[in-house]
Homo-oligomer: A and B are copies of this chain.
Amino acid sequence: MSIRHEQKEQRRALILQTALDLFIRKGYGETKVADIAKAADMSMGLLFHYFGSKEKLYEELIRIGCERLKIDFDVMNESSLAIFTAVAEEIFSMISTNPSAAKMFVLMENAQHLDSLSEDLKEMLTEADKLIKKSIPLIEKGQLLGEFKQGNAEALAVAFWCSIQGIAQYIALHPETPCPDTMWVISILENRKAD
């Protein structure tokens, strides 16, 4: 009861990894179970042995993603700038260190716009969308303090988070690419004077 158990875990991991890669490359619908099986070099039957269905496999990935990608900046008594810097730093470090973290990032984003998902899964996912909303008051605070650029706070939040999202997506699909510097994205928010 050792070799088996170990191989079982490896199989599961292999399937999850393979599926994640295909899902973010081609999308859920265009990724056929046959594709995953082929890429993971096993029969389709085995895939169904491990995960009951294509959808369950997908949901398992989302569940894992939700656990790993908990981004929060609720507390902290620091300046807005410091908070956003810390969060961005953490995200960039994740995606540049661990290729599958970047992929997870993309998966979660894509999953949001998928109808056929169980309700509890959908709830978990809306978290991400709330990131923008939750940033707004913090940004407004930063604007008052003069740390941040003036302008519509929601638009600033969109610019900041979508930039991160866009970059994460690129890194996920092109892992060999040099990762941008966190501070470059912070520049979007920062109120700075010309050189």
Contacts and interface: CB of A to CB of B under 8 A. Distances in A.
A188 B163 contact: yes
Contacts of A146: 195
A122 interface: no
Contacts of A29: 26-31
Contact of A30 (B114, B169, B171, B179): B114
A109 to B, nearest CB: 9
Contacts of A185: 159, 163, 188
Interface string A108-123: 0010011110000000
Given A162-B170, A195-B146, A113 B155 contact: no
Interface of A: 25-31, 110, 113-116, 146, 149, 151-152, 154-156, 158-159, 162-167, 169-171, 173, 177-181, 184-185, 187-188, 190-195
Q: Which 4 A-B pairs have the closest CB atoms?
A: A166-B166, A29-B29, A29-B30, A163-B163
